[in-house]
Structure 1
Amino acid sequence: MPSYTFTLNGTETTVDAPAGMPLLWVLRELLGVTGPKYGCGVGVCGACTSHLDGAAFRPCVTEPAAAAGRRVTTIEGLADGEDLHPVQEAWLAEDVAQCGYCQPGQIMTAAALLARNADPSDAAISEAMSDNVCRCGTYIRIRAAIRRAAQG
């Protein structure tokens, strides 16, 4: 079984995993990281969204070899110790979460958006978030939270 070494939430990690196993299952089942959720398994719902070298990606459709030698950040690694990321703070302030299932992926997508565009337009927010499904329909609060985080 191949071994893969990558930085997971700031810690160098080596894991033995089958080559074809989706990285989502490596994270959840082999490494115990449960923030990224399984939603669709085909990369269209956004529940598993995490960061690969700072860019949003879908580990449900990514093989572990793609992470080798790179930085993987999940919702568990977004905060700086006890200090929440500005997007996480905005999520709480805007009371975004209802069921909470999609929220890790939503937050990770929003954080990646703000990292590359500190003041996104409504159109940019809509485009970035368009593939993240919220079954509870909190899209208005999601947009408000992204705006709040962008304002600092």
Structure 2
Amino acid sequence: MNGEIRPIIVRNADTLLYILREKLGLTGAKPGCLNGDCGACTIHVDGAPMKSCLMLAVEAEGCTITTVEGLNYTALQAQFVDKFAFQCGYCTPGFIMNADALIAKHPDAEDKVITEWLDSNICRCTGYKEIEEAVKTAMAIARSASNASQSL
């Protein structure tokens, strides 16, 4: 869990979202719809975005789990702030986790791919333009950093 081994006893019926919030105190993943539609509870499971309300905690045994708390203020998070890509902020951690996985998997994603990935998250307060701008700028920063390290 976020780079640490966190042994915990869970019931067979406990969702990963419940365990994250109630047993581990990691409240970044938010309960929204609780049926996988909104994306507010998105985390990474073995590097892939997963809606934690849809996954039983027992299914996560042996997996590498990363929550928004485990990102440690990335360029993507900074761009969400710089581009005002939030209003109330409730959905923001889910968007950030989904976009972080997008950047890792498709660092040169075109607009269509970005839109497809962001479609799995819902924001009821603001438009998606600022969120898309934050993701695109973070992608450019990641590419620039990658190019700089390759030229060394």
C-alpha displacement of 1:137: 2.4
Whole-angstrom distance in 2 between the partners of 1:87 and 1:66: 28
Whole-angstrom distance in 2 between the partners of 1:42 and 1:92: 28
**Which residue, out of 15, 23, 27, partners 2:20?**
27
Whole-angstrom distance in 1 between the partners of 2:61 and 2:83: 36
2:82 is aligned with what amino acid?
Answer: A
**Counterpart of 1:4?**
none
Whole-angstrom distance in 1 between the partners of 2:116 and 2:126: 17
2:17 is aligned with what amino acid?
Answer: L
**Counterpart of 1:149?**
138
Query: What is the TM-score of this pair, normalised by structure 2?
Result: 0.90
C-alpha displacement of 1:61: 0.8
**Counterpart of 2:67?**
74
Amino-acid identity (%) = 41
Whole-angstrom distance in 2 between the partners of 1:118 and 1:30: 34
Whole-angstrom distance in 2 between the partners of 1:105 and 1:43: 12
* Structure 1 residue ranges without an equivalent (≥5): 1-7
Residues 38 and 122 in structure 2, CA contact (< 8 A), matched pair in contact too = yes
Whole-angstrom distance in 2 between the partners of 1:103 and 1:62: 20
RMSD: 0.8
**Which residue, out of 72, 88, 97, partners 2:86?**
97
Matched, 1:48 2:37: no
Matched, 1:110 2:110: no
Moved over 4 A (4+): none
Which structure is higher in helix share?
A: 2
